[in-house]
Amino acid sequence: MSCFRLRPKRTNSEEQVWQNGLKKVAQDNGKLLGLEGDVDLQFLLKGGDLLKVRSRSWHKNRFLKLMEDCRTMGYPSQKFWKRDKTFLIDDIESVRKGRQSDGLQKYTNASEEEKCFSIIFRGHKKNLDFMATSQEEAHRWVTSLEKLINNMHNLNKQQKSEHWIINCMRKSDKNNDNKMTLKEVKHFLRQINIQVDDAYAADIFKKCDTSNSGTLEDLEIKQFYDLLTQREEVDEIYNNYAKTEGEMSTSDLLNFLLNEQREQATTASALKLIEKYEPDETAKQKKRMTKDGFLMYLNHEDGSIYNPAHSALYQDMSQPLSHYFISSSHNTYLLEDQLKGPSSTEAYIKALMKSCRCVELDCWDGPNGEPIIYHGYTLTSRILFKDVIRVIKEFAFKTSEYPVILSLENHCTVEQQKVMAHHLISILGDALVTKPLGNTMPTDFPSPEELKGKFLIKGKRLNKLDAMFSNNNTVEEETVSEEDEAADCKENGEKAKPKKTKIKLAKQLSDIVIYCKSVHFGGFEHAKDSQAFYEMSSLKESKAFNLAETSGTAFIHHNMDKLTRIYPAGSRTDSSNYNPVPMWNVGCQIVALNFQTPSKEMHLNQGRFMPNGFCGYILKPQFQRSLSSQFNPNRLTNGPWLQQKTLHVMVISAQQLPKLNKNKNKSIVDPLVRVEVHGVPADNGSKETHHIENNGFNPSWNESFQFPIHVPELALLRFVLEDHDAASQNDFIGQYCLPLASIQNGYRHVPLLTKRGDVIASAGLFVHVMLVEQQ
């Protein structure tokens, strides 16, 4: 990696060698990324001057460039005692052209729109807002960065691993002479999260130093790399099936796919895998797969635990809205806690880009006649209602084209409610559903397919929907009972307000509530007799959990033709989450979670909504949609839901786990793996491996577990990796969660995600899984 700091003075010839070395490093890394000679990559490597924007008065010039590792961006600090600022390409969530961040909206003029762009990071890291010298230059920065991000994202696991290891090697080459001393080898091993004693390091160094020069170079470094990355567990699997002159013939590979992977494989599909993954052209011509090709297959989507067929939209999207689980957010405007954390339009963008399809807007009277959004009776910051609606319009359908529900928690006066209605109608335009689909009074919900690209408003309504189809559209009264959640918002130490059971409602706002009219929940019998299909209730988690426990079947039947929204208790001021699984078990569609809080519950939510093209809608199992169903998740009886199976999981090994405490002496992890099943109570289980001392690079466990499964259609499988600590709580390393219905049997790699749900580029888990009928 290059450095902006002053270096020891070099002669002209030394400088030329230095610069040529940097160019060679950049060229090699560009080749690894599939961007050899690419003009956009060259533009980023050259870098350029930009204006960094932090406030109205803080606009400063910065020289931004891509480092030679092709994965780090940097710009020099203006203070000589401070380190240069750098950030990883892997940490970038998106690059946005124009004034599409809070900062650029506040601190730049609309006339400079085309010169602006923002780099948005994953997690809580602050955005970087820049202004280029021209529209063309801003466009060049955005397109070049997007190309680099996409190419890095599209690398398979083996390519990411190779890129990571090679760059770790280069960082350990302190004097950049393309040679590695024993001292540099030891530093490299620490870099890649493996602790070895001096004797072992010296032994592998001596084994590779065939020239006896005291350094490793060229082919010796390649030999060292191959020795380090050798996967004995993969070698053993490969050798068991490679029966044709030490290689896998088409029939050998087919044998492996049928016996180990339990796939519906054919000779044609085996040949297709050879064509897709085999790097050796001679082997490919012989219709064989070498060990390198086999490793490539295992590290690609075909060898993933997640069924690639479920990555695309594959479910029936033509059923009523009530037949789907809908990815839903609570207090969507918050970035942190619910007492004093910041509110931001950015929070809506992040949720929508994760395919969240139901967002919440807490609306209050604001200054200058403009409604605002914030968490009432707290110190959370305020944002304008109209700015939120503009952002929602912009980002709602970028990752999913299926409908978005705007859940209004309305505390506004009638005058500002009219302003809310005006903004919703004028900004959302034709995308806003303002009347039922069709020309007659509906008796059921439209489908997600029919509502593509549409917004639905959830809120209070003054009259029945039938009034829209009669000549009499008058209202009997202008007040409605207060929203359940609004009535709860003063709990648990929040500033008290007078008990209020009625609020005045503006007709303009009432009229655009069509399919999601909020009503108080009066019990399942009352709802069955008196509640229209479009009338939905919001239930606090404690009430919902009690109903799920005591009236599971009734709850499921209620949710067959009506929507139910569940929200966290007011006591969760830290924006923590409840377990969503019991709510899905009883068919609740809108199980609202705090998306801003990285947690086990959000991991389960991400796993639930990962399949079906990540569109935010998952079709509920048939037994949660059929009127004849007597399914009760808490008291299992015989029925189509009962498909008793055994899940066998063997945790074999892991690769390139991240270091956790990079600035501390204790930075090498002692990893263990926990395997969890989440579903109906009878299926819940958790089992754990032993921990491996001082090895985050290639730990190996080879431990097997079994889990009895009763209702596989509702079960989720979660892997958690932790750094064992005997004296305190284990540290989190990575996790992955997916529905049991989406797993592939056999030897599979498991990608690992951060606590916030982002992919850890080079890391992975290797397992053997088998879901079989109980004998």
CATH of the domain at 115: 2.30.29.30
Annotated catalytic residue 678: no
By three-state DSSP, how is residue 742 classified? helix
- Same domain, yes or no: 440 and 513: yes
- Same domain, yes or no: 191 and 73: no
Which residue in 300, 310, 323, 330 is the catalytic one? 330
pLDDT attached to residue 495: 43
6 domain-assigned: no
- Same domain, yes or no: 145 and 168: no
Residue where one domain finishes, among candidates 624, 656, 691? 624
pLDDT attached to residue 9: 57
Q: Which has the closest alpha carbon to 515: 427, 444, 566?
A: 444
Q: Give the whole-angstrom CA distance, residue 735 versus residue 652.
A: 16
Annotated catalytic residue 411: no
pLDDT attached to residue 450: 98
Question: How far, rounded to the nearest angstrom, does the alpha carbon of residue 412 sit from its chain's CA centroid?
Answer: 34
Given a cut of 50, the residues of the chain with pLDDT beneath it are 1-8, 81, 490-498, 665
- Same domain, yes or no: 433 and 556: yes
Question: How far, rounded to the nearest angstrom, does the alpha carbon of residue 263 sit from its chain's CA centroid?
Answer: 28
- Rounded to 10 degrees, the C-alpha dihedral 476/479/485/491 comes to -150
- Same domain, yes or no: 423 and 514: yes
Residue where one domain finishes, among candidates 624, 655, 689? 624
- Same domain, yes or no: 200 and 130: no
632 domain-assigned: no
Give the list of residues 6+ apart from residue 444 with CB closer than 8 angstroms, or none: 320, 322, 533, 561
- Same domain, yes or no: 378 and 498: yes
- The residue type of 622 is Q
- Same domain, yes or no: 443 and 587: yes
Number of domains in the chain: 5
758 domain-assigned: yes
By three-state DSSP, how is residue 304 classified? strand
- Same domain, yes or no: 497 and 580: yes
310 domain-assigned: no
Q: Give the whole-angstrom CA distance, residue 227 versus residue 179.
A: 17
String of DSSP letters for 309-328: GGTS--S---S-GGGEEEEE
Residue where one domain finishes, among candidates 175, 197, 229? 229
Residue ranges of the annotated binding site are 52-79, 331, 360, 362, 409, 458, 460, 538, 565, 668, 670, 694, 723, 725
Residue ranges of the annotated binding site for Ca(2+) are 331, 360, 362, 409, 668, 670, 694, 723, 725
- Same domain, yes or no: 599 and 456: yes
Read off the pTM: 0.87
Beta strands in 415-563 (DSSP E): 455-459, 479-481, 502-504, 516-518, 535-540
27 domain-assigned: yes
pLDDT attached to residue 179: 80
- Same domain, yes or no: 46 and 83: yes
Segment 149-176, tens digit of pLDDT: 988 887 776 777 776 777 777 777 777 6
3 domain-assigned: no
Q: Give the whole-angstrom CA distance, residue 179 versus residue 328.
A: 53
Domain CATH for 402: 3.20.20.190
1 domain-assigned: no
Domain extent for 222: 158-229
Q: Give the whole-angstrom CA distance, residue 737 versus residue 719.
A: 6
- Rounded to 10 degrees, the C-alpha dihedral 129/130/131/133 comes to -170
Cross-strand bridge partners of residue 770 = 648
Q: Give the whole-angstrom CA distance, residue 202 versus residue 196.
A: 10
- The residue type of 502 is K
Domain CATH for 276: 1.10.238.10
- Same domain, yes or no: 532 and 578: yes
Residue ranges of the annotated binding site for substrate are 52-79, 458, 460, 538, 565
633 domain-assigned: no
Which residue in 300, 375, 423, 749 is the catalytic one? 375
